[in-house]
Amino acid sequence: MSREEYRDLLERNNLRQADVSWMTGVGERHARSWALGRYPIPQYAAVILRAYDCGLIDGPWLVRTIDRPVP
């Protein structure tokens, strides 16, 4: 996933960096670095985000599956 694809996906789905951080289990600074192109977006994060974008997983499923509180 390119930086542009990542940023478009976030905008299209009204996701914040905090949301991506929570969904992927990384810190907000790390998620922000993906948007800035400082680090490549790991495959696991791209899969999670694309699945969310395609409607294969949704917010309620994520809330039930991820132990940490929603940001």
Whole-angstrom Cα distance, residue 49 to residue 53?
6
pLDDT, average across residues 54-58: 95
Beta-carbon-side half-sphere exposure of residue 6 (alpha carbons within 13 Å)? 24
pLDDT bracket for residue 28 (50, 70, 90): very high
Contact, 50 vs 41, CB < 8 A? no
Residue 53 has pLDDT above 90, yes or no: yes
Residue 13 has pLDDT above 90, yes or no: yes
- Determine the pLDDT at residue 22: 94
The token pair that represents 69 in the structure block: 């509180």
* Class for the domain spanning 3-65: mainly alpha
What are the structural domain ranges in the chain?
A: 3-65
Place of tokens 């395609």: 54
